Homo-oligomer: A and B are copies of this chain.
């Protein structure tokens, strides 16, 4: 199969697929004219990659997951460990964003948003202890 069709089926841009080959995640064959020729296994791998990336796994995590996916004698514990670590990362990102959100949302609420220059948001950004006093996480 040509890269265009693979792109369509996997919902990955052709550019991304070429990139994944570049970094060694897939190794499609080549036809005589130099075009990439993707087999079913390549398609499966790319689909797998697409899903793993959609769950926020890094490329290196994806590489490890792919190796486990291909290793029939893997231990599910190894997969679970990887996934759990990633889950913790996600949770920490959510926490960070939540704190940002709370702080900024407090500032936004306290701003009149009219044509006058007085602005609690700018004040909050320049001085520390103005509004941001309730998170001690």
Q: A-side interface residues toward B, CB under 8 Å?
A: 44, 47-48, 51-52, 54-56, 65, 68-69, 71-77, 79-81, 83-84, 86-87, 90-91, 93-94, 97-98, 100-101, 103-105, 107-108, 111-119, 121-122, 124-126, 128
Whole-angstrom CA separation of A71 from B65 in the bound complex: 52
- A117/B83 in contact, CB under 8 A: no
- A51/B114 in contact, CB under 8 A: no
Partner of A69, one of B75, B94, B122: B122
Copies of this chain per assembly: 2
Q: Which residues of B contact A93 (CB under 8 A)?
A: 97
- B83/A108 in contact, CB under 8 A: yes
Of chain B, the residue at the smallest CB distance from A81 is B113
Of chain B, the residue at the smallest CB distance from A108 is B83
Whole-angstrom CA separation of A91 from B108 in the bound complex: 14
- A83/B97 in contact, CB under 8 A: no
- B125/A76 in contact, CB under 8 A: no
